Amino acid sequence: MAGVRESRRLRTFSRLLFIIYMAVTLYMLLLSESFGRKVKEEYRYNLQPFNEIKRFYHLLGTDNNEKAILNLVGNIICFLPFGLYQASELDNKKHTVIKVTFLTMLFSLSVELVQLYFKIGIFDVDDLILNTLGGMSGGILYCLYRSLCGSTTTQ
């Protein structure tokens, strides 16, 4: 009985952490002025895949190295927890990584569409690609962990 109670506490704690993660992530993606989230007069968007990824890749090793790393790696790392959490919720379900990848893409697309609609930031297909890659990576990491450590939690 103690194991079930402990498992429920862990699940509640992980859900609370996920809510905090989502609040911080949505703030950074939609409201944070330090990330360029100011309302603009015109729509700003990039619909050409890999255009911004190439641009930031070429900035690596220059004076803009920090900006390039923040954009390329930051988008991936920012969505890793999303993938980890979603995979834990889908635990032991068939095609978990595919479902996590799809959920991450939908969430990222929603954020990008909100940015476009309200003219905050830039709707960027490359952000969609990098964010989805981050969520998918989180799902893969969770599945690898589960396959190496086995199933020990009770639903």
Instruction: Encode pLDDT of 80-101 as tens digits.
Output: 999 999 999 998 888 999 999 9
Question: What's the token pair of residue 44?
Answer: 């700003």
Q: What share of the chain is helix, strand, coil (3-state, %, to 5)?
A: 75, 5, 25
Indicate whether 105 belongs to any domain: yes
Question: Stretch 71-85: mean pLDDT, rounded?
Answer: 96
pLDDT at 61 over 70: yes
- Residue 155's pLDDT band (boundaries 50, 70, 90)? very low
Sign of CA dihedral 109, 138, 126, 42: positive
Query: 0.85 cut: is pTM over it?
Result: yes
How far is the C-alpha of 141 from the C-alpha of 40, rounded, in Å? 38
Question: What's the token pair of residue 26?
Answer: 């949505």
Neighbours of 108 (CB within 10 A): 24
Query: At which residue do the structure tokens 């939690």 appear?
Result: 153
**Which domain range does residue 32 map to?**
2-149
- How many domains is the chain partitioned into structurally? 1
The dihedral region occupied by 49, where left means phi > 0, alpha psi between -120 and 50, and beta the remainder, is: beta
Indicate whether 74 belongs to any domain: yes
Neighbours of 116 (CB within 10 A): 16
pLDDT at 59 over 50: yes
Q: What is the crossing angle of helices 65-89 and 2-30, to 10°?
A: 140
Indicate whether 154 belongs to any domain: no
